[in-house]
Structure 1
Amino acid sequence: MSAYIPPFTLPAIYRKALKTWRPVILYFANDHCPACEWAGPIFRRIAEPYRLRANVYMLDTRQSPRHPNVTGTPTVLFYKGGRLIKKLKGIGTEETLARDFAAHIGKTKAPVAAGKRTHDLAWLRQTLRTLRTVPRARPGRMF
């Protein structure tokens, strides 16, 4: 970004949110903004698969402290390592927002289907029955 804002000038709540190793996405919206009403559900749908890989915050501009990079709503800020890496005024289209998420957070993997269990209780009993640490003594023979 061309306008660098040092992290210590941000309000304390944002500094605390940015102290993480995970990427952080801040989405600023307003209840009375028609564009925000349209963009909110799209942002939620795109952000849902990334919730385990990034910290995603949806903030209302009337209830949260003023952020120096937010001049209008909706605004999306992508942070990585505590530094602002991308600012979106508006969200654009669904495809461009998904592309930005993938570029700044990484692609999400499809959920893995649960595989068939290879071991069960019968397998364990059979294995323990045949497992020997010392050879068995033959009947009638003593050492």
Structure 2
Amino acid sequence: MTATAAHLREVTDETFAEEVLRSDVPVLVDFTADWCPPCRMVAPVLARIAEQRRDTLKVVSLDVDRNPRTQAAYGVLSMPTLVLFRDGEPARSVVGAQPERRLVEQLGLDEPR
């Protein structure tokens, strides 16, 4: 389990479609890896976002080393990459560890739908 997954539900190549693409609420996917220091830095930020928005947003992690199909399908080359999915489609993304306020702003998490 990755550092991020310690606080977030982990998805896999096998569960991605059900957990992310068919979700009734927006899903923020953290494409992460065990060997990635910035991924460990952003983990507590994502845990806070998940807790604060638990009724309106699902936050999950996907370990790219163990789930290469999903990583390749979305062209993820750098970790961490955060992708916000709405209605089964990628809506916004951010690459790299960011402070919470900046992540929320860049991903449009406070914008009305």
Determine the structure 1 residue equivalent to 2:5: none
Determine the structure 1 residue equivalent to 2:99: 93
Equivalent residues of 1:76, 1:91 under 8 A apart: no
Determine the structure 2 residue equivalent to 1:36: 39
Letter in structure 1 aligned against 2:39: C
Matched position secondary structure for 1:103 = coil
Superposed CA RMSD: 2.0
Shift of 1:12: 5.1
1:120-139 deviations in Å (ceiling 9; x for gaps): xxxxxxxxxxxxxxxxxxxx
Separation of aligned partners in 2, 1:72 and 1:57: 17
Shift of 1:77: 0.6
Which segments of 5 or more consecutive residues in structure 2 lack a partner in the other structure?
A: 1-12
1:79 aligns with 2:85: yes
Letter in structure 2 aligned against 1:75: T
TM-score by length of 2: 0.70
Separation of aligned partners in 1, 2:97 and 2:85: 16
Equivalenced residue count is: 95
Structure with bigger RCO (C-alpha 8 Å, 6+ apart) = 2
Determine the structure 2 residue equivalent to 1:8: none
TM-score by length of 1: 0.57
Give 1 or 2: higher strand fraction.
Answer: 2
Shift of 1:64: 2.6
Separation of aligned partners in 1, 2:28 and 2:94: 11
Matched position secondary structure for 1:40 = helix
Determine the structure 2 residue equivalent to 1:139: none
Letter in structure 1 aligned against 2:52: P
Larger Cα-atom Rg:
1
Letter in structure 1 aligned against 2:59: V
